[in-house]
């Protein structure tokens, strides 16, 4: 059944994002996709969504502020409202990598960019009925023993999965918690969620996973539809009235290093105001 609810999903063309896109389209949502690359062309649900304009695609490298600014500008010009924003794009790099702006790539893509997108689309969210932001986090940060907000932009060392990837997801959940009271004035609720383990390996693409994790993922992890289900529940399920929480298996959990939350929020807000909004 079609309805007028609109969801924006980043990283909607693969893995968890693709499964979430397919579910929402099948339930009658309109979906705005913000991706680096295209959708699989052989998927009939995706093809029908594109043909009927219930799936509207904007392409950009989200870690490149110039391309992201153009894409968000186009969305603001063409859309009337957004009910739910799923900040889902991410992934783990195999080695220390920096964005075009000069910051460590995980931090840029998985901590800074979700904040930028939420703030830039705040007015469209205010016009929506559901006024909800769901940020895809990860329980990988549970292994984090030391957390220094000042090291996020240019870490001194790199470890696959449990290094910058984990700390960037922790930082994402920390600013999500801190910003909730500020967004409450607009009626906007925001949550971060652990999608759990999912088999999101891609053929022909180097993984940022440690070598011993890859066979576990390939043979033991559930398909990405499980992660999509957790994001869906985070948006529409039992916790839909909560804001600022970190959800794991549909339950609100305490975050470590909460004392650093204000500093993380200050960092992402400063980057947004200085380098993105001011241009």
Q: Which domains does the chain have, with CATH numbers?
A: 6-277 (3.40.50.720)
Helix (H, G, I), strand (E, B) or coil at 242: coil
- The two structure tokens encoding residue 191: 């949550």
88: number of Cβ within 10 Å: 26
- State the pTM of this model: 0.93
Q: What is the mean pLDDT of the chain?
A: 92
CB atoms within 10 A of CB 144: 15
CA distance 279 to 273: 9
Residue that is written with structure tokens 């009925």 in the block:
129
Share of the chain above pLDDT 70, in %: 90
Phi, psi of 47 (to 5 degrees): -60, -45
Contact 160, 119 (CB under 8 A): no
Is the pLDDT assigned to residue 175 strictly greater than 90? yes
Q: Which 3 state secondary structure label does DSSP give 24?
A: helix
Overall average pLDDT of the 77-82 stretch: 98
- And the tokens for 253? 């959990």
Asked if pLDDT for residue 107 goes beyond 90, the answer is yes
pLDDT at 161: 82
């Amino acid at each position: 059944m079609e309805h007028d609810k609109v969801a924006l999903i980043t990283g909607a063309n693969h893995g968890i994002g693709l499964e979430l896109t397919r579910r929402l389209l099948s339930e009658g949502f309109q979906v705005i996709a913000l991706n680096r690359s295209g959708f699989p062309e052989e998927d009939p649900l995706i093809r029908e969504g594109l043909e009927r304009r219930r799936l509207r695609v904007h392409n950009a490298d989200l870690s490149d502020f110039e391309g992201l600014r153009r894409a968000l500008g186009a969305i603001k010009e063409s859309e009337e409202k957004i009910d739910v924003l799923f900040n889902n794009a991410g992934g783990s790099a195999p080695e220390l990598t920096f964005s075009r702006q000069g910051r460590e790539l995980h931090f840029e893509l998985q901590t800074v960019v979700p904040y930028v997108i939420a703030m830039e689309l705040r007015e469209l969210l205010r016009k929506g009925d559901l006024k909800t932001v769901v940020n895809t986090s990860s329980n990988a940060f549970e292994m984090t023993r030391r957390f220094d907000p000042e090291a996020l932009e240019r870490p001194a060392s790199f470890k696959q999965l449990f290094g910058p990837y984990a700390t960037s997801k922790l930082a994402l959940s920390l600013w999500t918690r801190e910003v909730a009271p500020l967004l409450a004035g607009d009626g906007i609720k925001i949550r971060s969620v652990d999608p759990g383990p999912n088999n999101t390996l891609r053929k022909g693409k180097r993984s940022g996973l440690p070598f011993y994790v890859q066979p576990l993922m390939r043979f033991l992890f559930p398909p990405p539809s499980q992660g999509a289900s957790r994001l869906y529940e985070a948006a529409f399920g039992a916790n839909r009235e909560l804001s600022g929480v970190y959800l794991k298996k549909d339950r609100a959990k305490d975050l470590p290093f909460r004392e650093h939350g204000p500093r993380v929020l200050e960092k992402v807000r400063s980057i947004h105001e200085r380098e993105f909004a001011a241009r």
